[in-house]
Amino acid sequence: MIGKLVFFYNLSQTIIMSQRERILDIAETSMRARGYNAVSFREIAGEIGIKSASLHYHFPKKADLGLELVKRYSENFRTALNSATENAANPIEKIEAFIDLHRNALIEQELLCLCVVLGAEARSLPEDVNSSVANFFQSNINWLTDAYQDAGFENAPSRAKAGVATLAGALIASDSLKDNSVFEAAADSVLKS
Amino acid sequence: MIGKLVFFYNLSQTIIMSQRERILDIAETSMRARGYNAVSFREIAGEIGIKSASLHYHFPKKADLGLELVKRYSENFRTALNSATENAANPIEKIEAFIDLHRNALIEQELLCLCVVLGAEARSLPEDVNSSVANFFQSNINWLTDAYQDAGFENAPSRAKAGVATLAGALIASDSLKDNSVFEAAADSVLKS
DNA sequence: GCTTGCCTATCATGTGATAGGTTGTTATTT
DNA sequence: AAATAACAACCTATCACATGATAGGCAAGC
């Protein structure tokens, strides 16, 4: 068996999802829920229905899986961001879309941002995983800087740094307190001029 | 041997630090650097120079250690906050002191906030550890709400939620990027009216 | 026939945890 | 004062289990 039939509700078509993608999906969900060090090969494999040794065929080391996970997450995040902003009427709507991506993670998916979780475990991560996480934060800061600039906000770079930090922390605090109003308060502050 | 002589620079006196405190100190440093799941009894014991079995004498289960850690951290944080704000000339200085506690962790100690780290691992933590972490966030939000209120800021509760989130996320992003300007930008936004 | 994707079996190491013994100090009794 | 009980704080030894990882085999499909 090469691929498994997966029905993508929003595409209304049947596509082939590779086993590799399936592994990444499950690993991502697990790590976003419990962190890098709390997730094991056996657990991921078990959820798919294969043996942990088979996982090593796709990802020889855990660091390989972690690295690929962060890269894919960053790409998907950027893709979703582009797709959500291409019809934006103004820069403010773009920023709202940026916030929405975080809100969606917390409220719909009930998960944190992968890079926020891994960022908290930074010193126990393989080095290249770590720097990929840093890249995610930096590229988000850059993106948000541009958006603030376009919106005519003052101190766009500083505001963008604060904005990325605010959303990251809002996910953690909101999730810990099981109180989405924390996220909404944070979202407001990111939009405030 | 019951205690070890420890010189407290700011007290100019020699006190006895219990082994229990020493264990908590090392466990706190380790967990704030690498997270709950990356820290083992053997590692903590090794750093002190005892065996891991002896650790279980002081803290039977890892959850006991974790819980005690969060409680002690919360108390110490509150104590430091009170001590730093008792001479504050105005509410703004109080908020600055609140920010300074976070800045000190990141820049002087080169560590994150314990509860920020544990918050990111929430779903893999023992339940009572988890709710203690939530208590930390809530009491910080309450404290900051009062401070904003005293300072005459509008929407103090919402602002406080955003402020706590911002500082939490700033620690992670700043640490990951090894760029303290992220923290400073976040700190500015917390102070901004 | 080569590649892909899985399998079984195994490995060394790390993990939290327990049982039971040893030592030195402190408190109580004789 | 001496003997004894009690306790705190460690130890050794061991446990069952989880972990990441490797070697080698097997079947399907191009």
Mean pLDDT over residues A17-30, rounded?
92
Element (H or E) spanning B130, and its range? helix B127-150
Q: Is A84 exposed, middle or buried (0-12, 13-18, 19+ CB in 10 A)?
A: middle
Question: How confident is the model over B80-136, as pLDDT tens digits?
Answer: 999 999 988 899 999 999 999 999 999 999 999 999 999 999 999 999 999 999 999
Query: Quick one: which of A180, A112, A167, A169 has its CA closest to B113?
Result: A169
pLDDT of residue B99: 98
pLDDT digits (tens, 9 = 90+) for A102-120: 999 999 999 999 999 999 9
What pLDDT, in 10s, does the model give residues B79-95?
999 999 998 889 999 99
Whether chain A has a CB inside 8 Å of the CB on B156: the answer is: no
| Contact (CB, 8 A) for A103 and A190 | no
Q: Which residue has the higher pLDDT, A103 or A4?
A: A103
Spell out the residues 6+ positions from residue B27 whose beta carbon is closer than 8 angstroms to its own. B39, B44, B65, B69
Q: Residue A52, CB, less than 7 Å from strand D?
A: yes
pLDDT-derived band at B18 (thresholds 50, 70, 90) equals confident
Q: Which of these, B187, B165, B177, lies nearest to A142 by C-alpha position?
A: B177
Give the model confidence (pLDDT) of B176-192 as tens digits. Answer: 999 999 999 999 999 98
Host domain of residue A129:
3-191
What per-residue confidence (pLDDT) applies to A8?
29
Residue B6 above 70 pLDDT?
A: no
Instruction: Name residue A117's amino acid.
Output: V
Provide the domain count of chain A.
1
Inter-chain CB pairs, A–B, below 8 Å:
175
Among chain B residues 46 through 75, which have CB within 7 angstroms of nucleic chain C?
52-53, 56, 60-63
Q: How far in angstroms lies nucleotide D2's C1' from the CA of residue A51?
A: 69
The answer to whether residue B185 neighbours chain A at the CB level (below 8 Å) is: yes
Residue A58 Cβ under 7 A from any strand C atom: yes
B124 touches strand C (CB under 7 A): no
Instruction: Label residue A7 by pLDDT band (50, 70, 90).
Output: very low
**Residue lying closest to nucleotide C26, CA to C1':** B2
The closest CB to that of A165, out of B130, B159, B186, belongs to B186
pLDDT-derived band at B70 (thresholds 50, 70, 90) equals very high
> What's the pLDDT at A17?
73
Chain B contact set for A115 (CB, 8 A): 176
Contact at CB, A134 and B177, closer than 8 angstroms: yes
The structure tokens listed for A86 are 């291409």
Average pLDDT, chain A: 91
For the domain that residue B181 is a member of, what is the CATH number? 1.10.357.10
Percent of chain B with pLDDT over 70: 91
A120 touches chain B (CB under 8 A): yes
Residues 50-89 of chain A whose Cβ lies under 8 A from any Cβ of chain B: none
Chain A residue with CA closest to B127: the answer is: A176
pLDDT at residue A6 tops 90: no
Whether CB of A8 is under 7 Å from strand C: the answer is no
- Over residues A93-102, the pLDDT tens digits come to 999 999 999 9
Calpha distance A154→A162 (Å, rounded): 13
Strand, coil or helix: B99: helix
Number of other residues whose CB lies within 10 A of the CB of residue A92: 17
pLDDT band at B16 (very low <50, low <70, confident <90, very high): low
Structure confidence by residue, pLDDT tens digits, A122-166: 999 999 999 999 999 999 999 999 999 999 999 999 999 999 999
Q: Which two tokens stand for residue A38?
A: 């709390």
Q: Do B161 and A116 touch (CB under 8 A)?
A: no
